[in-house]
């Protein structure tokens, strides 16, 4: 009977390494997990077998945490819920065990481990070119995780092999160099621009991520890499990707298509370099766009107009974000507050909403609501989930418009290889889409650093970039720029500079003696 | 004749003298003298008196018949069931309590746990709530583990049960009809449980069922009818209070939403309910070699939550034939159970607290079956609104049937050439099968636009097999006696679950899910008992366990134990004592492993395929994803080392008896679900052997018989235990205890230096009137920010002191039993108040929501994570409960050799507590949507014939 002690899994949903890496087709399901980790939260939709434990599963979704860490901490957004650690984000008073900074670290480190395991195991297929592309994509995803890690935490361990040995902490510079080297190295095996299937990355993604990395090099590792930023932005801009100009729903703007339920097919996909994909039936989560759509609805908004069955009454814009569109106001209400704008990117719901925020907690009507994300396709139909719970809309993690802005900023910051006129042209391309004509165009003399930062807010708000941008401009913690409830006071106040980095999870510091906590925490 | 006490020669008054089989009898007088007429030759005279052995004398014409009654030593010779054998109580060396039929709690008892509630020091039995057939959490000597199962091992007639829940069942112990139980033995310390090795880390409850006995068939028929009444509701605002509030705080839109009735939603969902129970059993002997017992039982109980119902049919057979001059005895037990459950929708409990009291139950314009619903402009339910509680009950049909069979065949063979040696083989099977389905009507208020009802079904099959073989050697050599056991045990646990989801099917997704697992436990065990002159007792046990859950290198665990006992009462200096009947000093040490509740195959590299709605789109196709699963190749046994020092005493003819125990349990290599660096694994937390814990405590039990007279007996039992749990080593802090309010909030924390499940909270600031100041907490680290770093650990849900006090009175034909309990120092987190009593909640989300009345105490406007985590809501839940009063009257000889007892019982009679929530006795300490425990009244009859 002793042999009976050797039991093998008998569950039909459980597989061994041999099953998973039996052939390239099976291995694709393991690759799919590497992508899915940035969109879904576990092995059961919408929740049930979570990847990350100790945090609400829906909350643990990558883009939802990215939104929380990079938008809620800024002038872009507030949230009215009392979830653990959440009110501390906008108040900039998070501690070392904050649920969001902890959950995000876990999610990203886990993605690194998933990628490491995949890369090691997939090597066994030798020369299969399709598998070589899988491995390059896995390395891209690992580099993407590390890009987020140095952005959010700075100094983290650099791990490229699965091992149970507690890792040493690497410096921000070492991580930076690793990401750069990896992205340069994998280009040989990534597919050509536009040659891969939707949802999987090609060479352009590695260029785009390098562009982002170089743009922040000064802020993160005190290196002037603006010329590299110019170069790689340019490569991405000159690829097969193009700014979406298809106004598929005929409402006069091709901007809103980027955030509709059919944005994987309505033309918007031409702009998407890297996406997190969602589907109301097949890929369900309480994070992602399901979160962005539901959480943005409340007050007198009609959920059905957004293709969902109800609002979660959470997310609103601060006055600072609304004010970015001041120059384009076409109509105000009785109190003189703006209610209509020429710039179609100003997607605010104002009925019954006050511009000014008095109370953040549980008071949806304080602050304008944002209508950017919808679960309606360009025909006006609701997404595929008939119940209106889960959203189809994919979320661009990198889209070409950002490359335009990166190019402009790198040029203005002194990067070689580009010019102001081209940069102005790029910005005007975005603004023409926003205004529907050239009435919003600028001159090259208007293209200052501050203008670019504001333009980034207008183009990219709520897409998970704002905190990084403000830090690059040294405005995130300082008193040079205040927004409502910055630092926990209504009129806003500066906070200590150490908050440009989030803490490493407090628990990990006690588990892994090799780790040193970030200053201030 | 005269009746005297044999030891002292003193006359015994009040002795019952009766001619057997007749009503002819008398009682000895103050001088022990008696006389009786109409006695014929061959009649049997029976002399009985409590505390003395009954004597039966065949009358053969004597005119005088003097009787010497021997003191009844049955109390000391009581046989106590221990693992793989039994021992007389005076020879037991461990901390063992046995509760037998006559001591069981009386009245309407549905499950085994209720029989011993409050009876044994250190054993807490807490029901999960007031639902019919509801399960209980049984803890012996506190919280034994962090991640693993903390419940004791239950052994029924030698079959250790699986810890796995039976799906669709309310309670793992439902399968056994309490009236079939002869005794429950609680093994508390490691020296007595170590024989069960790895499975016994949290103690063992041995259930022995009634066996066939007697020469002729006797029958017992019992029946009872029970009424359950809800006693208390969660305090909420009534309609008028709510109207006043909304008019004060609401905007025009909110005021417009007010209805004009007063509805007590809790009153709408709870009701007085009824139950009945009938049992028939027989015991006797077939031929001259096969004692038999058979029983049938039927229980039908409605819950106080409308629509809740539990019915159970049980049947059992016990056969004990013996052959070859009793060298070969066979025991066959078969026990079948069939339950049907109708689960009332418990979502109604929370929603009845939330629902606007100014609305009517019905609204003729509602598209949802005419039930009032908070609609949005699409004419579906507002997705953030609570659902009408009455509709919740009406439109969800949740039923299950559970079948379970537990059977074993045990063969004992005393070797012909060496009768002291017995070979035993025990083969057991525990198989359960559950089928359930949840039908949600399309009339159920829903926010889904394409809602057309849902059908979910599941089935669950558990198969556990047991094979035990062991040899027992039992012999006396002069003043030495030896008992040795050595054996082998094999157990396998299999489960096979299936579920079906119609909504997934509608969406074209995988709508069926299958879950399977199997584990095996293999053991060798041995025990050696040595008794010198009934004075010195020594026990040593050893168990080697191997579990398929652990990797091959760490699979085997070796768990030894030792115990010494000294029967001081048998020493010369006490032997002739008139006061001391028993005085036994015990000391024991044992080690026990634990992997109960651990997932299977943690040491294997494996991948989980995604199911239902977790595919990922690449190109035009959705792919199932494969996730590498967290891995721990090094999991080892969690080992508990228990030291126990005890004293058993019996004084004044055992009219005062009891025991004292002091224990220390150190659990090492504690398996807890702790943080792992996800750079080194595929998860952020895994089960790992990390940390140590200590349980320390003192238990004291005393039983007193103040009156022992022929027509009047009175006994009192009192037990008190003090227990302290402390995590002595844990590198990680583990938040646990999810609560309502916000998303993902937890309220408890495992932290070194504190009790497990301690509340992790902010320190509330109060104003000069003692009112909590909203959002004001003590900045404990003084950094001018309030975040997690300012939280502290405050109290825990476990009682420091638990007490039980019960008494039995018999006066002539009357009997009265009263059971009371008290817990001191247990704290509860009042989640009903914390999540439902702030002002903005009343008007948020374009609907109205009722508030919990604590709002009047705090006036809190909003809720945040910090409000929820205020120590204000951690409240002292110490209590005293009058659990059970049963009054019975026995009519002897209603016809020949038959007795009839009729009784009335009241349960959950009274609770004294300062706790402000519904019920202070909350398993786990988080008071949230608690199913109220009803007050219960029963009348019943018990006929023996």
pLDDT, tens digit, 9 for 90 and up, residues B142-191: 877 787 777 888 898 888 887 666 666 777 677 788 889 999 999 998 88
CA distance B102 to B181: 11
What is the distance of C-alpha A402 from the center of its chain? Answer: 12
- E strands in B415-479: 421-440, 454-477
Q: Which of B515, B385, B362 lies closest to B443, judged by CA? A: B362
Q: Is the pLDDT of residue A237 over 70?
A: yes
Query: Which pLDDT score, from 0 to 100, does residue B726 have?
Result: 94
Q: Is the pLDDT of residue A157 over 80?
A: yes
CA distance A471 to A478: 9
- The answer to whether A18 contacts chain B (CB < 8 Å) is no
As a residue count, chain B comes to 945
Tokens matching residue A110 = 């886990």
CA distance B265 to A200: 53
Residue B72's CB: how many other CB atoms inside 10 A? 17
Burial B624-648 (b: 16+ CB within 10 A, else e): bbbbbbbbbeebbbbbbbbbbbbeb
- The answer to whether A163 contacts chain B (CB < 8 Å) is yes
Cβ-Cβ contacts under 8 Å, A198 against chain B: 617-620
Burial B127-160 (b: 16+ CB within 10 A, else e): bbbbbbbbbbebbbbbbbbbbbbbbbbbbbbbbb
Cβ-Cβ contacts under 8 Å, B618 against chain A: 28, 31-32, 35, 197-200
Strands A14-16 and B764-766: unpaired
Query: Which pLDDT score, from 0 to 100, does residue B164 have?
Result: 67
For residue A74, the 8-state DSSP code is S
* Contact of A216 with A240, CB cutoff 8 Å: no
Query: Which pLDDT score, from 0 to 100, does residue B73 have?
Result: 53
- Cα(first)–Cα(last) distance of chain B, in Å? 32
Q: Rounded to a whole number, what is the distance in Å from the CA of B505 to chain A's nearest CA? A: 11
Dihedral sign, Cα of residue A166, residue A171, residue A174, residue A179: positive
What averages of pLDDT result for each successive group of 10 residues across chain B (945 residues)? 78 81 79 86 82 80 84 63 84 87 82 86 87 85 79 88 70 80 90 84 89 85 95 94 95 92 96 95 88 94 95 94 88 93 95 96 94 90 92 96 94 92 95 95 91 93 94 93 95 92 85 90 94 93 92 90 94 86 94 82 87 92 95 88 94 91 92 90 91 94 90 93 94 88 88 95 95 93 86 95 94 93 96 92 90 94 84 96 94 81 94 94 92 94 92
Query: Which pLDDT score, from 0 to 100, does residue B14 have?
Result: 75
Phi, psi of B437 (to 5 degrees): -150, 145
- The answer to whether A61 contacts chain B (CB < 8 Å) is no
> Within 13 Å of residue B54, how many CA atoms lie on the same side as its CB?
10
pLDDT in tens, A194-225: 999 999 999 999 999 999 999 999 999 999 99
- The answer to whether B627 contacts chain A (CB < 8 Å) is yes
Cβ-Cβ contacts under 8 Å, B620 against chain A: 197-198
- The highest-level CATH class for domain B1-72 is mainly beta
CA distance B583 to B571: 10
Helix/strand/coil for A438: helix
Query: Which pLDDT score, from 0 to 100, does residue B191 have?
Result: 83
- The answer to whether A114 contacts chain B (CB < 8 Å) is yes
pLDDT in tens, A95-131: 888 999 999 999 999 999 999 999 999 988 767 889 9
Q: Is the bond into B95 cis (omega within 30 degrees of 0)? A: no
DSSP A254-315: SSGGGGSTTTTTSSGGGGEEEEE--BTTTB--SSHHHHHHHHT--TT--GGGGTSS-----E
The H or E element that residue B354 is part of is: helix B347-354
Q: What is the torsion angle, in degrees rounded to the nearest 10, for the CA atoms of residue B834, residue B838, residue B840 and residue B843?
A: 90
Q: Which of A410, A432, A436 lies closest to A252, judged by CA? A: A436
For residue B381, the 8-state DSSP code is B
Tokens matching residue B928 = 């949230």
* Contact of A169 with A153, CB cutoff 8 Å: no
Residue B279's CB: how many other CB atoms inside 10 A? 20
- The answer to whether B522 contacts chain A (CB < 8 Å) is yes
Cβ-Cβ contacts under 8 Å, B686 against chain A: none
* Contact of B158 with B485, CB cutoff 8 Å: no
* Contact of B560 with B640, CB cutoff 8 Å: no
Q: Which of B594, B738, B569 lies closest to B668, judged by CA? A: B594
Q: What pairs with residue B459 in β-bridges?
A: B435, B498
* Closest chain B residue by Cα to residue A311: B383
CB contact under 8 A, A15 and B623: no
- The answer to whether B442 contacts chain A (CB < 8 Å) is no
CA distance A320 to A355: 10
Over range A312-333, report the average pLDDT: 95
Count Cβ atoms within 10 A of the Cβ of residue A379 and give its class: 0-12 exposed, 13-18 middle, 19 or more buried.
exposed
CATH superfamily of domain region B75-209:
TonB-dependent receptor, plug domain (2.170.130.10)
CA distance B688 to B367: 52
User: pTM of the prediction?
Assistant: 0.87
Q: What is the mean pLDDT of chain A?
A: 95
Q: CA-CA distances (angstroms) from residue A368 to A66, A298, A317, A332?
A: 21, 10, 5, 13
Cβ-Cβ contacts under 8 Å, B684 against chain A: 52-54, 106, 109-110
Q: Rounded to a whole number, what is the distance in Å from the CA of B790 to chain A's nearest CA? A: 9
* Contact of A31 with A137, CB cutoff 8 Å: yes
Contacts of B218 (CB under 8 A, 6+ apart): B282, B283, B284, B944, B945
Q: Which of B746, B724, B848 lies closest to B385, judged by CA? A: B848
Backbone torsion region of residue B795, taken as left when φ is above 0, otherwise alpha when ψ lies between -120 and 50, otherwise beta: left
CA distance A206 to A112: 17
Which among A14, A310, A388 has CB closest to B382? A310
* Contact of B359 with B387, CB cutoff 8 Å: no
Query: Which pLDDT score, from 0 to 100, does residue B400 have?
Result: 94
- The answer to whether A358 contacts chain B (CB < 8 Å) is no
CA distance B691 to B672: 8
Residue B705's CB: how many other CB atoms inside 10 A? 18
Suggest the residue from A90, A112, A294, A387 to mutate for an interface test with chain B (most B CBs closer than 10 A).
A387
Query: Which pLDDT score, from 0 to 100, does residue A485 have?
Result: 95
DSSP A89-107: HHHT---TT-HHHHHHHHH
CB contact under 8 A, B611 and A13: yes
Suggest the residue from B680, B689, B727, B751 to mutate for an interface test with chain A (most A CBs closer than 10 A).
B680
- E strands in A338-408: 338-341, 348-349, 369-370, 395-399
**Within this chain, domains B1-72 and B75-209 share the same CATH topology:** no
How many cross-chain Cβ pairs, A to B, lie less than 8 Å apart?
350
CB contact under 8 A, B448 and A309: yes
Query: Which pLDDT score, from 0 to 100, does residue A453 have?
Result: 98
Query: Which pLDDT score, from 0 to 100, does residue B137 have?
Result: 84
CB contact under 8 A, A94 and B787: yes
CA distance B593 to B559: 7
- The answer to whether A81 contacts chain B (CB < 8 Å) is yes
Q: Rounded to a whole number, what is the distance in Å from the CA of A65 to chain B's nearest CA? A: 14
Domain boundaries, chain B: 1-72, 75-209
Q: What pairs with residue B300 in β-bridges?
A: B276, B311
CB contact under 8 A, B447 and A388: yes
Suggest the residue from A8, A27, A54 to mutate for an interface test with chain B (most B CBs closer than 10 A).
A54
């Amino acid at each position: 009977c002793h042999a009976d002690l050797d039991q093998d899994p008998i569950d039909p949903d459980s597989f061994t390494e041999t099953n998973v890496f039996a052939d390239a087709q099976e291995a694709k399901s393991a690759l799919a997990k590497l992508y899915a980790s940035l969109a879904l939260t576990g092995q059961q939709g919408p929740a049930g077998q979570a990847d990350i434990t100790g945090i609400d599963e829906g909350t643990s979704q990558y883009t939802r945490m990215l939104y929380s860490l990079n938008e809620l901490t800024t002038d872009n957004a507030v949230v009215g819920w009392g979830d653990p650690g959440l009110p501390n984000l906008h108040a900039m008073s998070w501690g070392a065990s904050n649920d969001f900074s902890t959950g995000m670290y876990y999610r990203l480190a886990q993605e690194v481990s998933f990628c490491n395991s995949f890369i090691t195991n997939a090597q066994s297929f030798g020369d299969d070119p399709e598998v070589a592309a899988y491995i390059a994509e896995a390395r891209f995803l690992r580099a993407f995780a590390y890009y987020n890690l140095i952005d959010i935490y700075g100094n983290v361990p650099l791990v490229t092999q699965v091992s149970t040995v507690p890792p040493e902490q690497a410096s921000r510079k070492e991580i930076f160099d690793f990401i750069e080297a990896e992205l340069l190295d994998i280009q040989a095996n990534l597919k050509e621009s536009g040659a891969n299937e939707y949802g999987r990355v090609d060479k352009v993604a590695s260029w785009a991520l390098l562009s982002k990395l170089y743009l922040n090099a000064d802020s993160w590792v005190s290196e002037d890499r603006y010329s590299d930023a110019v170069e790689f932005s340019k490569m991405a801009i000159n690829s097969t990707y193009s700014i979406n100009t298809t106004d598929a729903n005929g409402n006069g703007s091709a901007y809103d298509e980027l955030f509709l339920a059919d944005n994987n097919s309505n033309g918007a996909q031409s702009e998407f370099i890297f996406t997190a994909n969602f589907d109301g039936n097949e890929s369900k989560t309480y994070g992602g766009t399901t979160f962005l759509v539901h959480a943005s609805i409340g007050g007198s908004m009609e959920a059905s107009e957004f293709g969902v069955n109800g609002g979660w009454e959470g997310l609103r814009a601060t006055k600072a974000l609304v004010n970015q569109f001041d120059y384009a106001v076409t109509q105000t209400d009785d109190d003189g507050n703006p209610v209509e704008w020429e710039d179609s990117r100003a997607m605010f719901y104002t009925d019954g909403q006050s511009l000014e925020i008095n109370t953040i907690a549980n008071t949806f009507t304080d602050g304008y609501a944002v209508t950017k994300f919808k679960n309606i396709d360009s025909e006006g139909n609701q997404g595929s989930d008939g119940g209106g719970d889960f959203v189809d809309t994919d979320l661009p993690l990198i889209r070409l418009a950002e490359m335009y802005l990166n190019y402009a900023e790198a040029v203005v910051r002194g990067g070689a290889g580009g010019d102001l006129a081209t940069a102005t042209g790029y910005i005007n391309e975005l603004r023409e889409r926003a205004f529907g004509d050239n009435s919003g165009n600028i001159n090259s003399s208007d293209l200052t650093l501050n203008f670019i930062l504001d333009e980034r807010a207008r183009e990219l708000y709520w897409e998970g970039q704002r905190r990084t941008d403000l830090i690059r401009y040294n405005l995130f913690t300082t008193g040079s720029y205040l927004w409502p409830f910055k630092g926990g006071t209504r009129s806003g106040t500066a906070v200590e500079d150490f908050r440009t980095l989030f803490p490493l999870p407090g628990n990990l510091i006690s588990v892994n003696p090799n780790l040193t906590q970030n200053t201030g925490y | 004749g005269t009746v005297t006490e044999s030891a002292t020669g003193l006359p015994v008054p009040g002795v019952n003298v009766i001619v057997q089989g007749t009503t002819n009898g008398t009682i000895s007088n103050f001088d022990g003298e008696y006389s009786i007429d109409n006695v014929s030759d061959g009649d049997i005279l029976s002399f009985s008196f409590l505390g003395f052995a009954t004597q039966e004398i065949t009358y053969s014409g004597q005119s005088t018949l003097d009787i010497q009654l021997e003191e009844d030593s049955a109390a000391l010779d009581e046989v106590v069931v221990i693992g793989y054998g039994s021992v007389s109580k005076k020879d037991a060396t461990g901390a063992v309590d046995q509760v037998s039929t006559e001591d069981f709690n009386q009245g309407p008892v549905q499950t085994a746990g209720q029989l011993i509630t409050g009876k044994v020091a250190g054993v807490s039995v807490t029901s999960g709530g007031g639902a019919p057939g509801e399960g209980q959490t049984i803890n012996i000597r506190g919280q034994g583990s962090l991640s693993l199962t903390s419940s004791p091992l239950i052994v029924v007639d030698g079959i250790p049960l699986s810890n796995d829940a039976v799906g669709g069942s309310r309670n793992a112990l439902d399968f056994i009809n309490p009236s079939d139980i002869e005794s429950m033995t609680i093994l508390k310390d490691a020296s007595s449980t170590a024989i069960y090795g790895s499975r016994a880390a949290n103690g063992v409850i041995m259930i022995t069922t009634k066996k066939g006995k007697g020469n002729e068939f006797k029958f017992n028929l019992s029946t009872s009818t029970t009424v359950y009444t809800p006693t208390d509701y969660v305090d909420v605002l009534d309609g008028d209070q709510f109207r006043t509030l909304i008019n004060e705080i609401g905007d025009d839109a909110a005021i417009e939403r007010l209805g004009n009735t007063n509805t007590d939603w809790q009153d709408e969902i709870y009701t007085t309910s009824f139950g009945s129970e009938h049992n028939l059993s027989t015991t006797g002997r077939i031929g001259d070699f096969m004692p038999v017992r058979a029983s049938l039982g039927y229980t039908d109980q409605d819950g106080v939550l409308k629509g809740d119902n539990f019915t159970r049919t049980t049947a059992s057979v016990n056969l004990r034939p013996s052959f070859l001059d009793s060298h070969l005895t066979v025991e066959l037990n078969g026990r079948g159970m069939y339950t049907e459950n109708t689960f009332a929708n418990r979502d109604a409990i929370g929603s009845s607290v939330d629902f606007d009291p100014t609305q009517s139950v019905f609204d003729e314009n509602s598209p949802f079956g005419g039930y009032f619903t908070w609609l949005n402009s699409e004419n579906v339910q507002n997705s953030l609104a609570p659902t009408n509680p009455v509709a919740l009950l009406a439109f969800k049909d949740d039923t299950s049937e559970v079948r379970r069979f537990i059977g074993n065949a045990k063969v004992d063979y005393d070797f012909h050439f060496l009768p002291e040696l017995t070979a035993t083989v025990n083969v057991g099977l525990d198989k359960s099968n559950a089928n359930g389905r949840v039908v949600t009507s399309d009339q159920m208020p829903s926010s889904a636009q394409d809602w057309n009802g849902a059908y979910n079904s599941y089935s669950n099959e558990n198969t556990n097999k047991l094979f035990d073989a062991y040899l027992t050697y039992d012999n006396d050599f002069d003043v030495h006696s030896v008992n040795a056991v050595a054996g082998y045990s094999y157990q396998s646990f299999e489960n096979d679950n299936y579920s079906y989801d119609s909504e997934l099917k509608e969406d074209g997704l995988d709508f069926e899910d299958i879950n399977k697992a199997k584990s095996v436990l293999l053991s060798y065990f041995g025990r050696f008992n040595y008794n010198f002159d009934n004075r010195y007792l020594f026990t040593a046990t050893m168990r080697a366990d191997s579990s398929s859950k652990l990797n091959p290198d760490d699979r085997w665990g070796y768990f030894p134990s030792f115990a010494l006992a000294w029967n001081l009462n048998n020493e010369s200096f006490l032997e002739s004592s008139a006061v001391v009947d028993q005085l036994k000093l015990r000391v024991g040490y044992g080690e026990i492993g634990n992997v109960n509740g651990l997932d299977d195959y943690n040491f294997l590299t494996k991948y989980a395929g995604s199911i239902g709605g977790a595919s990922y789109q690449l190109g035009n196709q959705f792919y199932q994803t494969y996730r590498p699963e967290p891995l721990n190749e090094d999991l080892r046994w969690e080992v508990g080392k228990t030291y126990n020092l005890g004293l058993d005493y019996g004084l004044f003819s055992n009219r005062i008896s009891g025991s004292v125990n002091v224990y220390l349990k150190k659990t090492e290599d504690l398996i807890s679900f702790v943080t792992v660096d996800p750079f080194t694994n595929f998860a952020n937390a895994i089960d790992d052997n990390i940390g140590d814990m200590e349980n320390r405590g003192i238990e004291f039990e005393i039983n007193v018989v103040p009156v022992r007279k022929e027509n009047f007996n009175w006994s009192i039992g009192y037990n008190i235990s003090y227990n302290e749990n402390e995590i002595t080593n844990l590198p990680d802090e583990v938040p646990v205890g999810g609560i309502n309010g916000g998303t993902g909030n937890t309220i408890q924390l495992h932290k070194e230096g504190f009790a497990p499940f301690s509340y992790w909270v902010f320190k509330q600031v109060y104003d000069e009137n003692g009112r909590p100041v909203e959002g004001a907490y003590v900045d404990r680290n003084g950094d001018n920010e309030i975040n997690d770093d300012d939280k502290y650990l405050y109290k825990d849900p476990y009682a420091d002191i638990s007490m039980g006090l019960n008494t039995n009175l018999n006066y002539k034909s009357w009997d009265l039993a009263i059971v009371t309990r008290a817990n001191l120092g247990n704290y509860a987190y009042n989640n009903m108040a914390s999540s439902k009593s702030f002002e903005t909640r009343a008007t948020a989300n374009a609907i109205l929501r009722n508030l919990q009345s604590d709002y009047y105490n705090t006036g809190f406007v909003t809720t945040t994570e910090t409000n929820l985590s205020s120590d204000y809501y951690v409240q002292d839940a110490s209590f005293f409960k009058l659990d059970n009063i049963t009054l019975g009257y026995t009519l002897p000889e209603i016809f020949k050799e038959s007795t009839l007892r009729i009784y009335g019982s009241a349960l959950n009679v009274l609770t004294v507590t300062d706790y402000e929530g519904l019920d202070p006795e909350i398993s786990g300490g988080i008071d949230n949507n608690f199913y109220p425990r009803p007050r219960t009244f029963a009348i019943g009859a018990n006929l023996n014939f």
